[in-house]
Structure 1
Amino acid sequence: MVGRVRRSRARRAAESAFGLLLLLKAVVAGALVVALLAAGVWVSWDGVRDALASDARGTMTVRSCTQSWCSGPFTPVSGGAARVVRVDRLVSRGTGQRFAVASRPGTSVVVRTGVAGVLFALRSVAGALLLSALALWVGPGLRRWAWGAAALGVALIAVPFALG
């Protein structure tokens, strides 16, 4: 045992405390990521469900738009009278556009159907992924996971607009 120096009790305690703080930082960041993603899925669930499994399906032609909503006639697939409905402004590219929608039960609000509709409904998940990427980068320092989460979040934001 020549040349071996024993560390003091205080130094060993400090190293253990630092290791505990690093572990705590990783656990808190992981819990934050899980909470953000769960909240994003929770908020998006109603829109995704309506886009996939709504009974009242039809087509909508955009007639007029305000800053946050576009409105126009809704013609049900199953027949029936046309009525005026509104859709989120981000879903539409402007007046004259016609696309497949599903009516939310008991309201005059419709959501897009198909792949574009589901991806539009997942906007909250995209935001949660972007915030989670920041938490992964700063918290436990998982740079590759952070870049992956950020790339997926940006793709979930960009692809619906490309599908138009």
Structure 2
Amino acid sequence: MPSAVLSSRASRGASTVLRLCRFAAMGTVAALILIAGVWASWGTAQHAMLTKGRERGTVEVTRCGAKTCTGPYAPLSQGSQPRARVVLEDSVAVDRGETYTVVLKPGGEHAVRSGPAGILYAWVPLGGALLLASVVVAGGLLRTRAAWVLALSGTALLTAAFLAV
């Protein structure tokens, strides 16, 4: 066989291997981004979504600091005890003087907003991960339709959280 034919076949083989490696690497990066988004969201979302058996009540916010707000807790669920002070983290979604429905984390001092606003706010890290993964899917995997689905899903989640909070 002529050397030009062998060179052409070797070149195509190397190109295919490089494409597969890029696909595997970018697929792994996109998957890790999405897993990290779910992981970051689930720590708070589990308390806001799975309220059965947890202490539920309201908090009237009396003080806000840089990252937390505090206030007295009034129970709504059976078996829950009133508390003089509970802590709401991420004070960006909380205003002083307002009353919010909350779920207490196990341990009793830290609370998470409940209801639709609390659930959507808890999933904000996933919304950011969807947007970031869409860039990786479009640029690294060359899958523009899948990238658009990821980007629009992330945008919808972030917009809904912004409007609900």
Q: TM-score range by the shorter chain?
A: 0.7 to 0.9
Tell me the secondary structure at the aligned position of residue 8 of structure 1: helix
1:109-124 pair list within 5 angstroms: 109-124=110-125
Q: Does 1:15 align with 2:16?
A: no
The one-letter code of the counterpart of 2:104 is S
CA contact (8 A) 2:63 2:71 kept: yes
1:1-164 pair list within 5 angstroms: 8-54=5-51, 55-77=54-76, 78=78, 80-87=81-88, 88-92=90-94, 94-164=95-165
CA deviation after TM superposition for structure 1 residue 63, in Å: 1.5
Q: Distance in 1 between matches of 2:86 and 2:12?
A: 64
Q: Distance in 2 between matches of 1:90 and 1:74?
A: 19
CA deviation after TM superposition for structure 1 residue 135, in Å: 0.8
Q: Distance in 2 between matches of 1:11 and 1:34?
A: 34
Which segments of 5 or more consecutive residues in structure 2 lack a partner in the other structure?
A: none
Q: State the Cα deviation string for residues 87-142 of structure 1 (Å, max 9, x = none).
A: 121321x1122121001111421111122211111122112112211110111111
Q: Which moved more, 1:57-66 or 1:81-90?
A: 81-90
Give the TM-score taking structure 2 as reference length: 0.86
Q: Distance in 2 between matches of 1:33 and 1:64?
A: 40
What percentage of residue pairs aligned between the two structures are identical? 32
Which segments of 5 or more consecutive residues in structure 1 lack a partner in the other structure?
A: 1-5
Q: Distance in 2 between matches of 1:148 and 1:83?
A: 46
CA contact (8 A) 2:30 2:133 kept: yes
The count of corresponding residues between Structure 1 and Structure 2 is: 159
CA contact (8 A) 1:91 1:112 kept: no
Tell me the secondary structure at the aligned position of residue 127 of structure 2: helix
The one-letter code of the counterpart of 1:155 is A
Runs (4 or more) in structure 1 with deviation over 3 Å come to none
Instruction: Please report the RMSD computed on the Cα atoms of aligned residues, expressed in angstroms.
Output: 2.0
CA contact (8 A) 2:120 2:164 kept: no
Give the TM-score taking structure 1 as reference length: 0.87
CA deviation after TM superposition for structure 1 residue 34, in Å: 1.4
CA deviation after TM superposition for structure 1 residue 57, in Å: 0.4
